[in-house]
Amino acid sequence: MTKVDFYEVLSVSRDANDQELKTSYRKLAMQYHPDRNPDDPTAEEKFKECSEAYQVLSDPEKRAAYDRYGHAAFSGGAPGAGGNPFTGGAQDLGDIFGDIFGEMFNMGGGGGRKASRVQRGRDLRYDLTLEFEEAVFGKEKEITIRRMETCVDCKGSGAARGKAPVTCTQCGGRGQQRFQQGFFSVARTCSVCGGTGTLIVDPCQTCRGETRVQTEHSILVKVPAGVEQDTRIRYQGEGEAGKFAGPAGDLYVVLNVKAHKFFERDGDDLHCVMPISFPQAALGTELEIQTLEGPATIKVPEGTQSGKEFKLRGKGVPHLNSHGKGDLVVEIRVQTPGKLNKQQKELLRQLSETMIVENTPTSRGLFDKVKEMFS
């Protein structure tokens, strides 16, 4: 069967440089690799064909011979014929795979890298509930968590005291086993040692070879002033210890803030509603309100309408990790009494006769203007 021109196989021009050859070969090899085409019997042939073309054209001497004599340069009939370009067999092909694919297919003449036993520990979460005032002004609280810590007896090795992990006999300490699959060889992670190249045959009696033990640990949580609901505080390295003395994870303290009995929070501002009577709203009054920092006074002018807001500067929540505070916004609500005695009713009738309001529907905008007229 007539062979296809190697340059056509790799879809490159005859003056293609090394990088163009490698890029094209990588793309084609990934496309036709047997592992990616298990149900396509022609994929392996195409894979072999582009691999053969790349090995010839990537070698300056072989490429020069091919450019001069074509495929005959390796048939044994041409001057300086080099024979089969795959003189090294599967090992040479593995070297190409190692150079092109690296860890993608876990191949190559170098045998790949050993897997590390060392693992980072898990991050932990602790939900901490705070009173409303504790979130506003800050608080220090001690919490207790259960976590995995490095075993002190084996220092995280998993082996008994005075012992050490031994070399895996299955892979000879390489962490990988090499298998021949037809035209090429494949390196796979050792199923016995998990790719680490070592085994624990004398496990630590304290942790039973797990390298960690579960313990209780206390941590002082410093809650800064001004935190909000669902604020997360990160404590680096306070999570679970990693296996085989690996680095510890982090601890995330997630805050849950209880509601206040009358204050509502909007950012760093506080809001509340203050009920007053009709006479207080009409004649004006002076109100004392309890803030989070103590009592404060609000002067309500005469003719104040229900819904009027008064702002107390700096009586809100401290800005988190900054200077200053939000404000306290107090909304006035004029209460209508549900029950009146005879004297109160008579006094209101007399008052009503002196106040004339046209009871016709208006838009909300016009109603606001009417409120301004009475204020």
Per-residue model confidence (pLDDT) at position 97: 45
Is pLDDT larger for residue 296 or for residue 166?
A: 296
- Residues 45-104 have pLDDT tens digits of 888 888 888 888 988 888 888 888 787 777 654 444 444 444 433 333 444 444 444 434
Per-residue model confidence (pLDDT) at position 369: 53
Confidence of residue 371 (pLDDT cuts 50, 70, 90): low
Residues of the chain with CATH 1.10.287.110: 6-87
pLDDT at 230 exceeding the cut of 70: yes
Class of domain 6-87: mainly alpha
Neighbours of 124 (CB within 10 A): 19
Per-residue model confidence (pLDDT) at position 19: 87
Topology given in CATH for the domain delimited by 124-165+200-257: HSP40/DNAj peptide-binding domain (2.60.260)
Tokens of 347: 């006094």
pLDDT at 124 exceeding the cut of 90: yes
Per-residue model confidence (pLDDT) at position 173: 84
Per-residue model confidence (pLDDT) at position 96: 42
Confidence of residue 157 (pLDDT cuts 50, 70, 90): confident
- Residues 185-197 have pLDDT tens digits of 677 888 777 788 8
Residue that the structure tokens 């624990």 belong to: 200
Average of per-residue pLDDT across 322-346? 92
Per-residue model confidence (pLDDT) at position 107: 41
Residues of the chain with CATH 2.60.260.20: 124-165+200-257, 264-374
Query: What is the model's pTM?
Result: 0.59
Per-residue model confidence (pLDDT) at position 348: 85
Topology given in CATH for the domain delimited by 264-374: HSP40/DNAj peptide-binding domain (2.60.260)
In angstroms, the CA 188 to CA 197 distance is 13
In angstroms, the CA 301 to CA 374 distance is 12
pLDDT at 329 exceeding the cut of 60: yes
In angstroms, the CA 134 to CA 130 distance is 6
Per-residue model confidence (pLDDT) at position 106: 40
Average of per-residue pLDDT across 352-362? 71
Mean pLDDT score of the chain, rounded to an integer? 82
Per-residue model confidence (pLDDT) at position 283: 92
Average of per-residue pLDDT across 221-227? 95
Per-residue model confidence (pLDDT) at position 247: 92
CA distances from 105 to 91, 94, 97, 326 (A): 15, 11, 8, 59
Confidence of residue 263 (pLDDT cuts 50, 70, 90): very high
The two counts, helices (H) then strands (E), for the chain are 9, 15
Of 17-21, 225-229, 246-250, 365-369, the range with the lowest mean pLDDT is: 365-369
